[in-house]
Amino acid sequence: MYASNLKLINLRNHTNSFYELSNETLFIGENGSGKTTILEAIYILFGLRSFKKQPLSSAVTFNEEFFRIESEIKNGSLTSDAVCLFKNKRITMVNGEDIEDIADYVYNHPVACYTPEMLGILSKDQQDRRNFIDRFIFYYDKEHIYDVKHYNRLLSQKQAEFDKETSDFIYLDVLNEKIVYLSNKISSKRVKIIDEVNKNLKELYNSLDFTMENVFINYSSNISDTSLLNKEKFMKKSLYGVHRDKIEMCLDEKIIEKFSSTGQKKTFILLSLYSFIKIIEESRKISIITLLDDFEAALDKKRAEFIKNIFSNNRQVLYTGVDNTRLNFENVINIK
């Protein structure tokens, strides 16, 4: 998939902007010039939400009533016009017609993103880390999102039962039977994709020749301990399930994310992101538009060159940065 251009109307500080895009485009400019907003626009258009933890209404230019994002999309020999309009609610259209199936649209318009605001695999919030992995599993297996939504509904129902003065244990057992089933199903998919990512990470770190950085993603879950289900009934709190899974950055079985440098963490995040992208692309025979905000920050030239080269191979990548003095990019747009 390839976005050949992008038009923004009333999106934050872009009142009326138009950009021609290439396979590799770097947006440069001073802080506050609107570079990140360009990447956010692509993410909203294809992901139907912002990567910022804010409602879409906050992205509308001050004193305006709506925003509009437009792009011409090329997918193989097919060309389509995609539009996302927000005015009190989001409306997304392809070739002038409203999309009917949101999950199907997102599945068929995959987008991957890194920003300092969206750290993905190393977010401070474990829920964000789980969401990051589940989104890539969804691109791999569309039915996964329905399992996760069903699981979350069951959790809400269980908590509602806990909140009652006297809980119905028989009803809780019925809920727990379904929760155990879905926990095993969701967890097995997380384990599978993380195992594949770790294989890719090992190869990538060997290519970088950083012998001290044999890092990997560690995934831990409590779903084998069903005794927690009985404890829950008396503590009136959900203790069991994949909503408590932990994802961490490790070296030789030791969690090192709290002790690694900013550059090491960013390298890990970007190489993990690339590994997820590679798995989905090879499985589905597609290319995923990738957004890398503030790309070179905290990376030395060797790392930046290596990571840029692997990302810019066979997919469209949009970067942002302060300048383009260290690396060469196919297309550089200065946002003034």
Summarised one tens digit per residue, pLDDT across range 273-315 is: 999 999 999 999 999 999 999 999 999 998 999 999 999 988 9
Cα-flanking dihedrals φ and ψ of residue 260, to 5°?
A: -80, 160
Residue 299 lies in a domain: yes
Residue 274 lies in a domain: no
Taking alpha carbons only, the member of 249, 255, 251 closest to residue 269 is 249
Take residue 270 and report the two structure tokens written for it: 């970007």
Query: What domain count does the chain have?
Result: 2
Q: Indicate if 178 and 255 belong to the same structural domain.
A: yes
Structural domain span for residue 189: 126-269
Q: Amino acid letter at 11?
A: L
pLDDT in tens, 75-125: 888 899 999 999 999 999 999 999 989 999 999 999 999 999 888 899 999
204-208, 242-246, 266-270, 331-335: the lowest-pLDDT one: 204-208
Q: Indicate if 45 and 161 belong to the same structural domain.
A: no
* CATH code for the domain of 193: 1.20.1050.90
In the chain, the N- to C-terminal Cα span, in Å, equals 28
Percent of the chain with pLDDT over 70: 99
| In contact, 39 and 319? CB cutoff 8 Å | no
Q: Is the pLDDT of residue 253 over 80?
A: no
Query: Can you tell me the distance from the alpha carbon of 323 to that of 29, in angstroms, rounded to the nearest whole number?
Result: 7
Residue 279 lies in a domain: no
The pLDDT value recorded for residue 76 is 83
Q: Indicate if 204 and 241 belong to the same structural domain.
A: yes
Residue 115 lies in a domain: no
Query: Can you tell me the distance from the alpha carbon of 302 to that of 121, in angstroms, rounded to the nearest whole number?
Result: 23
Residue 239, exposed/middle/buried by CB under 10 A (0-12, 13-18, 19+)?
middle
Distance of CA 55 to the CA centre of its chain: 17
The overall average pLDDT reported for the chain is: 93
| In contact, 290 and 315? CB cutoff 8 Å | yes
Q: Indicate if 333 and 230 belong to the same structural domain.
A: no
Q: Indicate if 152 and 249 belong to the same structural domain.
A: yes
Q: Is the pLDDT of residue 212 over 60?
A: no
Handedness of CA 154, 159, 163, 168 (dihedral sign): positive
Residue 121 lies in a domain: no
Cα-flanking dihedrals φ and ψ of residue 202, to 5°?
A: -60, -45
Residue 27 lies in a domain: yes
Q: Indicate if 249 and 224 belong to the same structural domain.
A: yes
Residue 278 lies in a domain: no
The pLDDT value recorded for residue 241 is 97
Confidence of residue 258 (pLDDT cuts 50, 70, 90): confident
Residue 145 lies in a domain: yes
The pLDDT value recorded for residue 210 is 62
Q: Indicate if 336 and 262 belong to the same structural domain.
A: no
Q: Indicate if 190 and 68 belong to the same structural domain.
A: no
Q: Is the pLDDT of residue 211 over 60?
A: no
The pLDDT value recorded for residue 213 is 64
Q: Indicate if 99 and 143 belong to the same structural domain.
A: no
Question: Buried b vs exposed e over 183-207: b needs ≥16 C-beta within 10 Å?
Answer: bebbbebbeebbebbbebbeebbee
Q: Indicate if 49 and 139 belong to the same structural domain.
A: no
* CATH code for the domain of 58: 3.40.50.300
Q: Indicate if 177 and 78 belong to the same structural domain.
A: no
Q: Indicate if 144 and 242 belong to the same structural domain.
A: yes
